[in-house]
Amino acid sequence: MTDFAATKARFHLPEGVIYLDGNSLGPLPKHASDRMAQVMQNEWGEMLITGWNKAGWMDQPTRVGDRIARLIGAQPGHVVMGDTLSIKVYQALASALKLNENRRVILSDSGNFPSDLYMAEGLISFLDQGHELRVVAPEEVEDAITDEVAVMMITEVDYRTGRMHDMKRLTAKAHQHGVVTVWDLAHTAGATPVDLAGADADFAVGCTYKYLNGGPGAPAFIYVNPRHANAALPALSGWLGHDAPFDFELNYRPAKGIQRMRVGTPPILALAALDAALDIWDMTDMAQVRAKSVALTERFIAGVEAACPMLRLASPRDAAQRGSQVSFAFPEGYAAIQALIARGVIGDFRAPDIMRFGFTPLYIDEGDVDAAVNIIADVMTNRLWDADAYKTRAKVT
Amino acid sequence: MTDFAATKARFHLPEGVIYLDGNSLGPLPKHASDRMAQVMQNEWGEMLITGWNKAGWMDQPTRVGDRIARLIGAQPGHVVMGDTLSIKVYQALASALKLNENRRVILSDSGNFPSDLYMAEGLISFLDQGHELRVVAPEEVEDAITDEVAVMMITEVDYRTGRMHDMKRLTAKAHQHGVVTVWDLAHTAGATPVDLAGADADFAVGCTYKYLNGGPGAPAFIYVNPRHANAALPALSGWLGHDAPFDFELNYRPAKGIQRMRVGTPPILALAALDAALDIWDMTDMAQVRAKSVALTERFIAGVEAACPMLRLASPRDAAQRGSQVSFAFPEGYAAIQALIARGVIGDFRAPDIMRFGFTPLYIDEGDVDAAVNIIADVMTNRLWDADAYKTRAKVT
């Protein structure tokens, strides 16, 4: 059994704060600062350049990748860390397009995180070969999978509403039509069980600063289905994706398997913080995390709806179709979120009118949910926000 | 006057080590661990998501970029941090190619760092529009600049030999022929004075874990000539390069100026270490750093050549054509370097036969040079290495 009291005790949570924004930036694991100090002093400080071998820095991207693989239904050796999620989107998309180079349509949906769409736009415009980014409504994705589509690029859980796509069904239909899939797990990894191997997903990417608690701007990951791993060309073909980086050959030869998705020198300090955060994930079972997440979101929805009729649920009511967040639509949502933050309930706002709350069983429990509901009820019922002060749109992430 | 004793006192240098590998990974600034702990505990730990505004994380890439701008002859607002050097090479090269899209040749040289060539190869292969990567010998670059060339992509200082290109002259000739320039400053930033604005360089990129001491895998930088800043399209068009990232629009609109070269969420922890390292650079004058670097390399060459006739100088003898490193060619160089490391003189090896030593006046002084020369003389004269143990090629960076 996952001991959620024990996992909660591993996080630094500021006094007086109920943190419902772990879907944007996870909190600090208490031991992460010590781990970082150790890596800085004992590895960087003492080993200097020899840390690349002695401290195992060079293998850190695959070693950490293997720890994440367990949480997303992948086998060891199929995930590697590096860069940012946007860069990994580009790399996956470029690889996927080359595997299907006679087609010209990239299918996505309007619930995708904009950066994924921007990366696709940049890629299309740079390629200049007549590709089309076809963005449909989330509920239209399934019907839009046709033989014309080269790549379906979808974020599994919608960053605004928490609506969840059915990875297995969409991937199966995609494959029936010869479509290569790219799944963005930004709001899934560490939030809901993922079964990349079971779904036969082609490529997947994700970030680690949300539910995985890796720290602000923590490195991204990429998964490549072993079926493609020796065929996919990464487009971003850096030296650490070379078959023999330290031979310093003048010509690129892709490494075998997932290694070819590496690009430049890995961010060792950032990986140290993430690695520490993953220690806590080793205490968990993902099915139990999901069960508790569902219980927390159900409890939150019931509490808020009972007390705040002015808030409209923007997330699916059916927990099976919902990630680990709950969103409510409210016209003065930005101002209301600021008032909640001032009262210690940290959620966030997403334009145009979404008040967003993340539920992460590793450090949020029923008592937190109830306390948050009480504060939200007070703030909303008594309109305790400064409407004038927040006429401008949100500037915070 | 730069007080080099004072800068040296700011670094953690392990007992018994003479560190001549700061051209690969700079040492730990003593205060960097405290700075990191402060960012982790007081910012990430206490501010959580609000750190993006309250702690200024969102502006960190340009704020740190401005600190580096001073060291490479750029104005504030023309440099931004992010990603790795290889990714920034791709971005600069892609942008440069689009500015010259009727031409098909990328000119580089065989002294370029292989990752730059690999990124160009990956880009060309992905584009599939008949581009040619034309790699000439370093001394042939100038003659190879013709009206056929779209982009000249050159690393200013050769990672193996330390040979330095003349940025001003090559850029001027490039512009006479309508060629856009991409300069890689990996072995220049913090090593030699750079005058990007004076040379009218078009794009420049670099890493910060070498002479700038930002830590293993520290973020890269990119410079865009203000003449191009609102015309260049970054290809890697991520949300933080959008004109209004937090409006979450579905379509990409590039931000103004250097901001458009941002891609994903910035690596705040890695930037904190780098920012701390740059405090030491604020104590320096680059011309004085260069003068001392030249004095140290001259002293080292004279000492080693006097004692070790078996070593052949692989760096230019003329200091004006040399970066801040000295390389010697020696067939058993890998084994010899390992023996030197065991004796506390840390240099490194680059295939096939280069023994490489970096000289960084911020923490290396004349006494270190003399001590290193004595140890090298002993090891080389008495052949104090284990030739059998090192038949394999180097596996360290």
Which CATH number is B4-29+285-390's, of 3.90.79.10, 3.40.50.300, 3.90.1150.10, 3.30.9.10?
Answer: 3.90.1150.10
Q: Under CATH, domain A4-28+285-390 is a member of which superfamily?
A: Aspartate Aminotransferase, domain 1 (3.90.1150.10)
**Residues in chain A with pLDDT values less than 70:** 389-397
B86 CB neighbours in chain A (<8 A) are 236, 238-239, 263-264
pLDDT at B91 over 50: yes
**Res A351: pLDDT:** 87
Q: What is the average pLDDT across B309-323?
A: 98
Decide if B267 and A83 are in contact by the 8 Å CB cutoff.
Answer: no
Decide if B264 and A45 are in contact by the 8 Å CB cutoff.
Answer: no
Q: Which residues pair with A312 in a beta bridge?
A: A329
Sheet of B348-350: strand order equals B312-313, B325-329, B354-358, B348-350
Mutate to test the interface with B, among A81, A239, A357, A363 (most CBs of B within 10 A): A239
**Local structure of A241: helix, strand or coil:** helix
**Percent with pLDDT over 90 in chain B:** 96
Decide if B115 and A264 are in contact by the 8 Å CB cutoff.
Answer: yes
Binned at pLDDT 50, 70 and 90, residue B389 comes out as low
Decide if A41 and B12 are in contact by the 8 Å CB cutoff.
Answer: yes
Which CATH number is B33-281's, of 3.30.450.80, 3.40.640.10, 3.40.50.1580, 3.40.1180.10?
Answer: 3.40.640.10
Q: Work out the angle between the directed axes of helices B333-342 and B366-381 (0-180°, nearest 10).
A: 120
Two tokens, residue A169: 């069904």
ipTM of the complex: 0.97
Listed in order, strand segments (DSSP E) in B203-324 are 203-206, 221-224, 312-313
Question: Is B242 part of the contact surface with chain A (CB cutoff 8 Å)?
Answer: yes
Mean pLDDT of chain B: 96
Q: Give the Cα-Cα-Cα angle B260, B147, B188 (nearest 5 degrees).
A: 50
d(CA A127, CA B102): 14
Residue A208's closest CA among A235, A190, A228? A190
- Give the β-pairing of A180-184 and A149-155: parallel
Tell me which residues of B are annotated as active site.
113, 184, 209-210, 356
Q: Please state, as a whole number, how many other Cβ atoms lie within 10 Å of the Cβ of residue A366.
A: 12
Portions of chain A given CATH number 3.40.640.10: 33-281
**Res B392: pLDDT:** 53
Torsion, Cα B304 B307 B308 B314, to 10 degrees, reads 30
**Res B222: pLDDT:** 98
pLDDT at B393 over 70: no
**Res A396: pLDDT:** 43
pLDDT at B348 over 70: yes
**Res B394: pLDDT:** 44
Residue in chain A lying closest to B14 (CA): A46
Question: Is A133 part of the contact surface with chain B (CB cutoff 8 Å)?
Answer: no
Torsion, Cα A97 A99 A105 A110, to 10 degrees, reads -60
Identify the H or E element spanning A82: none
Q: How far is CA B80 from CA B197, B245, B266, in A?
A: 15, 16, 11
Which positions ≥6 away from A38 have C-beta within 8 Å? none
Which positions ≥6 away from A27 have C-beta within 8 Å? A11, A12, A13, A19, A213, A363, B44, B45, B48
Helical spans, DSSP H, in B128-203: 141-144, 167-176, 196-199
d(CA A319, CA A306): 18
Decide if B45 and A24 are in contact by the 8 Å CB cutoff.
Answer: no
DSSP B151: E
Residue ranges of B 269-308 with Cβ closer than 8 A to chain A: 269-271, 273
Portions of chain A given CATH number 3.90.1150.10: 4-28+285-390
Tell me which residues of A are annotated as active site.
113, 184, 209-210, 356
Query: What is the identity of the amino acid at B78?
Result: H
**Res B132: pLDDT:** 98
Question: Is A120 part of the contact surface with chain B (CB cutoff 8 Å)?
Answer: no
**Res B388: pLDDT:** 75
Residue in chain A lying closest to B122 (CA): A235
